[in-house]
């Protein structure tokens, strides 16, 4: 297995590994490299079926689609025969049916952060890639936290934020009204998390708010909450915390939603087709400095 850093803030490129047939020692090394790269691995040249992607993903933990379900509006885009695979695509069948969720994640977010058990790892496998466009941006929320002053870190450490699927559902251009169903808003897609969380493997602190799903800070009035969150959104996505991924066919990306946020750029018309599997996290714990 060969590993090469991708940017100062986050990301490791891994080659010379076949995740469909990975042994335990190599999996332990891959996970170590992933954590050391602040939770983003780009694994080139993989050959994955929906089943082998699912089996590899299960090595990280239980999966949405089998051990817990996504919000209702995702269900039409799960692969019927392998419901752990969420199809992300702008393609349509010959009869005009969507072959995946188009415009998925076109805002900064951490997957499923509106649940008590949000996403831990997301694994996105690139099957059809436009010749240009369709890049994905990742921002390290560990680097973003570390760059704040000690006073700001301390203040944020005492705060909690409500995450709510409604925020993305109501944002223009994110979801077609016809894709949303009343069960999306039945209460299970809203949860209050600490603003600074502790990574369970590394003990590092990371910011855990995102423009896509965070609705407000608890204990503040609306104007105060909006002002503080806007400061954080601007800070969290500064250029120095970002890696921009230009996809190659057969890339498998693994990102840690407890350490990163991401955004899919919607700047292409050519066909783009990907399979995502999503590992369920434990409820994040607040970071408490020593």
- Residues found near ligand SIN in the complex (CB under 6 A): 88, 104-105, 122, 124, 136, 262, 264, 274, 276
- Active-site residue, from 109, 258, 272, 275: 109
Q: CB-wise, 104 or 252, nearer to ligand SIN?
A: 104
> Which residues, other chains included, contact 165 with Cβ-Cβ below 8 Å and sequence gap of 6+?
71, 114, 184, 185, 189, 190, 213
Structure tokens given for 23: 């042994």
The verdict on whether 117 is a catalytic residue reads: no
Listing DSSP states for 109-129 in one string gives B-TTTTSSS-EEEEEEEEEE-
Q: CB-wise, 123 or 228, nearer to ligand SIN?
A: 123
Q: CB-wise, 90 or 204, nearer to ligand SIN?
A: 90
The verdict on whether 262 is a catalytic residue reads: yes
- Active-site residue, from 245, 258, 272, 276: 276
- Phi then psi for residue 169, to 5 deg, are -60, -35
Are 136 and 265 in contact by the 8 Å Cβ rule? The answer is yes
Nearest-approach distance from CB 245 to ligand SIN, in angstroms: 8
- Active-site residue, from 87, 101, 111, 164: 111
Nearest-approach distance from CB 127 to ligand SIN, in angstroms: 12
Nearest-approach distance from CB 265 to ligand SIN, in angstroms: 8
- Active-site residue, from 115, 216, 262, 272: 262
3-state helix, strand, coil in the chain (%, to 5): 25, 30, 45
The verdict on whether 258 is a catalytic residue reads: no
Q: How many CB atoms lie within 10 A of CB 15?
A: 12
Q: How many CB atoms lie within 10 A of CB 98?
A: 16
The verdict on whether 111 is a catalytic residue reads: yes
The residues annotated with a catalytic role in the active site are 109, 111, 262, 276
């Amino acid at each position: 297995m060969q590993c090469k850093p991708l940017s100062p803030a986050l990301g490791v490129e891994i080659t010379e590994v076949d995740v469909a047939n990975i042994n335990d020692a190599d999996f332990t090394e891959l996970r170590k490299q992933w954590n050391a790269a602040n939770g983003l691995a780009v694994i080139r040249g993989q050959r994955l079926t929906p089943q082998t992607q699912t089996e590899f993903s299960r090595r990280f933990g239980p999966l949405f689609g089998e051990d817990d379900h996504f919000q209702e509006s995702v269900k039409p885009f799960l692969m019927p025969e392998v419901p752990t695979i969420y199809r992300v695509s702008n393609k349509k069948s010959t009869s005009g049916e969507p072959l995946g969720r188009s415009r998925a994640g076109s805002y900064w977010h951490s997957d499923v952060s509106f649940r008590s058990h949000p996403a831990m790892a997301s694994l996105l496998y690139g099957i059809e890639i436009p010749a240009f466009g369709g890049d994905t941006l990742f921002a390290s929320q560990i680097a973003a936290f570390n760059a704040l002053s000690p006073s700001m870190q301390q203040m944020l450490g005492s705060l909690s934020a409500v995450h709510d699927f409604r925020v993305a559902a109501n944002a223009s251009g994110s979801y077609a009204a016809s894709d949303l169903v009343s069960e999306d808003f039945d209460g299970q897609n809203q949860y209050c998390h600490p603003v600074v969380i502790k990574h369970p493997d590394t003990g590092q602190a990371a910011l855990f708010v995102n423009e896509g799903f965070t609705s407000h800070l608890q204990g503040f009035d609306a104007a105060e909450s909006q002002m503080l969150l806007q400061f954080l959104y601007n800070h969290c996505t500064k250029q120095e915390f970002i890696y921009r991924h230009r996809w190659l066919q057969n890339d498998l990306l693994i990102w840690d939603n407890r350490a990163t946020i991401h955004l899919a750029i919607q700047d292409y018309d050519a066909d783009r087709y990907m399979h995502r599997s999503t590992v369920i996290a434990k409820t994040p714990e607040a970071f408490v400095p020593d």
